[in-house]
Amino acid sequence: MSLNTDLETGVRPANAVTLQGERTLRSKPPTTLTSAQNLLSLTGARSHRVLQQALLDLLGGHLQADEVWLVSGSPRVGSPDGAAWHEPEEACEVCLWQADMPQILPVSRRLLPPWVGSRLLPDSDPEAAATVSGYWTCTVDLSAIGLASCLIGRGKPLSHSERSNIEALLAIYLNVYQLLDDAGTDVLTGLPNRRSFDQRLPDLLQQPPMAPALQGDRRSDPEPGDHWLAMIDVDHFKRVNDEHGHAQGDAVLQWIARILRCSFRQGDAVFRIGGEEFVVLLNGLTRAQAERALHRFRQTVADTDFPSVGRVTLSIGVVRAVPESAADVLLARADEALYTAKRAGRNRLQLR
């Protein structure tokens, strides 16, 4: 008798393996959305984009969908005094998976079709939802981490078990996303750190140019916009620490991070890469527009009275960034421009 024979009934299952090595055809159990293999593809992701791709591949493939929209957002980011730095939608990410395209597409919130936004975003027009049928929504809200919603396009509604599995995957996605955020976030300021900069730079440089939409700016320049990388350094920051203490120095960095968040657009990216150095990657601006935006930011900081410290200034080095640029090369070029600004007297911008 085979060891695989049921000891009570004496019946050997059809997919059993005998002692003599005889093998019957073992039917492969159908994988579910929440199988161990699929969960591994999510928890093994080492970047946000890989995580999003893995989630949408799972949802689209297993549900036999034509397309899947994913919207995920983090809770409000607080300033040192508890006030909100920005509205939740500024932290909202939108991705689109389509059955006939291997790579997901990041989608600007401003370009989101109304009928998609009406299903996924709480502040959109609910009447637009009626314009397109055949789409089914699942949402998970983990208040301390964030919210994720997916809109699945296919011919039949989601079953109860499918919906439960999707919600479980979205919860896992949010938790892994938060872990990646924690690893890539500067603890003091809440900005993305150098690790995040190195990981995200290739994707950021591949993004198409976006409209300027900068305060006080108008798109009068005929030439298309470029990506610009600005390295920002706090002037005489050692003196701030020596004269006022490290706690006040930390407060200055927190407030500069707050001003950074408020001074640039959703499609721009800001980082703290170490010490008193920050980086901004501007998307879709001409040289003149990039200079104006960065000068406004520099002047805003220079006009700020920092509690217990007084006035602080910044020096900024700026270079144009192209898609094939390596992070180390870009930072080295921006650093050269920065120290040209320092040698010229500080509190100024040098663009190369």
* Strand pairing report for 349-351 and 314-321: parallel
Distance CA 93, CA 143 (A): 17
Helix (H, G, I), strand (E, B) or coil at 321: strand
Q: What is the pLDDT of residue 1?
A: 38
Helix axes 246-263, 237-244, angle to 10 degrees: 140
Asked if 88 contacts 98 with a C-beta cutoff of 8 angstroms, the reply is no
Residues 23 and 46 in one domain: no
Instruction: Look at the chain and report how many structural domains it folds into.
Output: 3
Residues 207 and 312 in one domain: yes
Helix (H, G, I), strand (E, B) or coil at 283: strand
Which residues are bridge partners to 290 per DSSP?
Answer: none
Look up residue 12 and give its DSSP letter. Answer: P
Tell whether 154 is covered by a domain: yes
Distance CA 302, CA 57 (A): 48
In order along its 352 residues, the chain shows pLDDT tens digits of: 333 434 344 444 444 443 344 333 334 445 677 788 888 889 999 888 899 999 999 999 999 999 999 988 765 444 333 333 233 344 578 899 999 987 898 887 767 788 787 777 655 555 555 567 889 999 898 877 788 899 999 989 999 999 999 999 999 999 998 898 889 999 999 999 999 999 889 988 988 776 554 444 544 444 668 999 999 999 999 999 999 999 999 999 999 999 999 999 878 999 999 999 999 999 989 999 999 999 999 999 999 999 999 999 999 999 999 988 899 999 999 999 999 999 999 999 999 8
Q: What is the pLDDT of residue 278?
A: 98
Residues 268 and 324 in one domain: yes
CA 7 to chain centre: 55
Helix (H, G, I), strand (E, B) or coil at 151: strand
276 is annotated as an active-site residue? yes
Tell whether 1 is covered by a domain: yes
Q: What is the pLDDT of residue 188?
A: 96
Domain that holds residue 106: 36-183
| Residue 331: both structure tokens together | 């930072």
Distance CA 77, CA 256 (A): 15
Residues 167 and 65 in one domain: yes
Closest residue by Cα to residue 200 from 281, 294, 284, 318: 281
Q: What is the pLDDT of residue 21?
A: 40
Classify residue 292 by burial, with Cβ atoms within 10 Å: 0-12, 13-18, 19+: middle
* Strand pairing report for 226-234 and 314-321: antiparallel
Tell whether 95 is covered by a domain: yes
Instruction: Show which of 132, 157, 183 is a domain's final residue.
Output: 183
Helix (H, G, I), strand (E, B) or coil at 39: helix
Q: What is the DSSP string of 230-261?
A: EEEEETTHHHHHHHH-HHHHHHHHHHHHHHHH
pLDDT tens digit sequence for 84-96: 323 334 457 889 9
Tell whether 188 is covered by a domain: no
Tell whether 335 is covered by a domain: yes
Distance CA 45, CA 218 (A): 40
Which residues are bridge partners to 321 per DSSP?
Answer: 227
Residues 320 and 341 in one domain: yes
Residues 291 and 251 in one domain: yes
Residues 247 and 333 in one domain: yes
Distance CA 111, CA 103 (A): 19
Q: What is the DSSP string of 77-143?
A: PBPTTS-BSS-GGGG-EEEEEETT-SS-EE--GGGS-HHHHHHH-TTS-GGGGGG--SEEEEEEEET
Residues 347 and 199 in one domain: yes
**CATH code of 126's domain:** 3.30.450
Q: Out of 22, 276, 277, 324, which one is annotated catalytic?
A: 276
Residues 100 and 61 in one domain: yes
Instruction: Show which of 148, 183, 218 is a domain's final residue.
Output: 183
Residues 179 and 267 in one domain: no
Instruction: Show which of 150, 183, 216 is a domain's final residue.
Output: 183
Tell whether 339 is covered by a domain: yes
Residues 270 and 127 in one domain: no
Name the E strands within the chain: 67-73, 93-98, 105-106, 135-142, 146-153, 226-234, 269-274, 277-285, 314-321, 349-351
Tell whether 73 is covered by a domain: yes
Closest residue by Cα to residue 244 from 342, 300, 311: 311
Residues 130 and 213 in one domain: no
**CATH code of 236's domain:** 3.30.70.270
End-to-end CA distance of the chain: 81
Tell whether 267 is covered by a domain: yes
